Every structure is written in structure tokens, then in C-alpha cells.
Amino acid sequence: MKKRSIVSITGLAAVMLVSGSAFAWLEKTGERDEALSLKPNRENGIEVYEVCAACHLTEGWGTKDGTFPQIAGQHQTVLVKQLADIREGNRDNPTMYPFAKPESIGGPQAMADVTHYISQLPMNPDNGKGPWEPGTPEWERGKKLFEENCVKCHGEHGEGSAEKFYPKIQGQHYLYMLRQFEWIRDGKRRNANPEMVEQIKNFTDEDMKHVINYVSWIKVPKEDLAPSKDWTNPDFD
């Protein structure tokens, strides 16, 4: 399998023909841009989050089986973008859609409030890990794939970029990331960054498992973590 550290011009042109624009995934949308321009209200964010907590848990930690992702500590820009994409039909998520609708959580101000609240929640210090521990050949293989293909956007430690809408992937559950990676690679996640689609299109299933395994073991900075895996959100006591 030939790896590329830079998206080829030819490949990106092909993506442009399909999507209409190389940056269609970041086309301006009224709700996203408005929500990011508003001052968040923490108290309302807590109230709105009660809707989200039914699946993502009051701590925002999701589930290790990958059914629901950890959203605690995620960049607010990423949270707003994904929420707006689901609401506007740019990302298929039939489970979340009814709860994301304005009738359920409110308009742009509510989006600003709840996403800011989520972004400030401490992350789970015991996220779902992949099967291969650091130092194993599979972990080393994943590390190499990550350095060759993922660092440019997601950063050396999977920290992502709030400014560029690149998600934080450190601390995320292995099984959730594995499913999303496969959907992006196979064209099933319509709001994916076309540069990522191009970058990973030749990954085999084994490549995919190894690189996601490596990511799942990346250490999250201590200051971003809850004090223990038994921590409970005091806002919902």
C-alpha cells in the first residue's frame, strides 16, 4: 500500500468533482456560524445538555462499546459543526437527529450554550482502548501509519485543531473511531473532510485497526481529565 503525506493534486481534483468543492465540508451555514458568534450561557447549556445526556451520559463520556462517542472536552467548533451538519441533513445520524432538532434543544443560542458546556467537561481517564498495547508490533505499525497520514491535521498527540474544525481524537473510544474511520474511508459519512477521504482511501482493514488502536492509547493531558474513572458530574447530582 502506497502512503502519502500530502494529498495528491490528481486525487483532490477527483474529490472536487464529486463534492463540488474541495472544502465543501466547511461551506458556510447560518446556524453554525451564528452559534459560534454567540456568547454561551452556562446555565442554559446545562439545561439543554439533559437531552444529550440520555445517550452521551451526564459526564459526556459515551460508551466504550462505541455506540456513543465521548464528547466531553471536544473542541466547541467541532461540536457545533457536527450538530449543525446533522440538523441540516449533511451528516446521516438517524439516532441523534430527533434530539438535535430545534424543537428538542432550541436554536443557535442553545447550540452555543450546550456545545460550550460540553467542551469544558473533563474527559474520561479510562476510554475504550484497542487490543494492542504500546510496544507491540501492531501498536508500532499503527504509530507509523499515524505519523505518515494523520499528524498533519490531527496533531502529534491527536489534539486536533479548533480553528480548523479538526476533531480531538485523543481519548476517544477505539470502537467508535474504528466505525467512523471505516465510514469515512468507504464514503458513508457525507460530511467528512475530502482531504481525509483521499488520504485514507487505500487503507486496508488491518491498517485501519492498527492506526486507530494507536490513537486509542494516546495519553490525554492530565489537566483535561477527570480525577478518576468514577467521577460523576456534579451538575447532575
| 10 against 137, higher pLDDT | 137
> Looking at residue 26, what is its pLDDT?
76
Instruction: Confirm whether 171 is domain-assigned.
Output: yes
User: 225: closest CA among 147, 127, 154, 157?
Assistant: 127
Q: Is residue 58 part of a domain?
A: yes
What is the C-alpha to C-alpha distance for residues 25 and 32, in angstroms, rounded to an integer? Answer: 12
- Are 117 and 35 contained in the same domain? yes
In the predicted structure, residue 17 carries a pLDDT above the cut 60: no
Q: Last residue of a domain, which of 90, 122, 154?
A: 122
pLDDT of 22 reads: 37
Whether 109 and 133 map to the same domain: the answer is no
In which domain, by residue range, is 183 found? 9-23+126-224
Residue 220 CB partners (closer than 8 Å, separation 6+) = 73, 123, 125, 127, 170, 171
Rounded mean pLDDT of 98-126? 97
Q: What percent of the chain has pLDDT over 90?
A: 85
Digit-coded pLDDT (tens) for 143-199: 999 999 999 999 999 999 999 999 999 999 999 999 999 999 999 999 999 999 999
**pLDDT tens, 28-67?**
667 999 999 999 999 999 999 999 999 999 999 999 999 9
Last residue of a domain, one of 73, 102, 122: 122
Query: Cα–Cα distance between 77 and 80 in angstroms, integer?
Result: 5
Residue 44: which region, alpha, beta or left (left: phi > 0; alpha: psi -120 to 50)?
alpha
pLDDT at 29: 65
Mean residue pLDDT across the chain:
90
The count of structural domains within the chain is 2
Is residue 233 in some structural domain? no
Q: Is pLDDT above 50 for 12?
A: no
Residue 25: what pLDDT? 67
Predicted local confidence at residue 20, as pLDDT: 36
Instruction: Please tell me whether residues 140 and 106 are part of one structural domain.
Output: no
Same domain? For 110 and 171 the reply is no
107 and 150 in a single domain? The answer is: no
- Predicted local distance difference test score (pLDDT) of residue 171: 98
Mean predicted confidence (pLDDT) in 68-76: 98
pLDDT tier at 235, thresholds 50, 70, 90: very high
Q: Is residue 229 part of a domain?
A: no
107 inside domain: yes
Name the percent of the chain lying above pLDDT 70: 89
Q: Is residue 190 part of a domain?
A: yes
CATH of the domain at 142: 1.10.760.10
Same domain, 35 and 116: yes
Structural domain ending residue among the three candidates 122, 144, 166: 122
Same domain, 206 and 175: yes
Q: Are residues 189 and 218 in the same domain?
A: yes
Rounded to an integer, what distance in angstroms lies between the CA atom of residue 22 and that of residue 15?
7
- Is 237 inside a domain boundary? no
Q: Are 95 and 145 contained in the same domain? A: no
CA separation for the pair 104, 207 (Å, rounded): 39
Residues 6+ apart with CB under 8 A from 201: 11, 185
Question: Where residue 3 falls among pLDDT bands split at 50, 70, 90?
Answer: very low
**Domain contains 212:** yes
Instruction: Judge if 72 and 116 occupy the same domain.
Output: yes
135 and 217 within one domain: yes
**CA 220 → CA 116, 118, 136, 216, distances in Å?**
20, 17, 20, 10
Same domain? For 114 and 171 the reply is: no
pTM exceeds 0.75 for this model:
yes
Question: Does 103 score more than 70 pLDDT?
Answer: yes
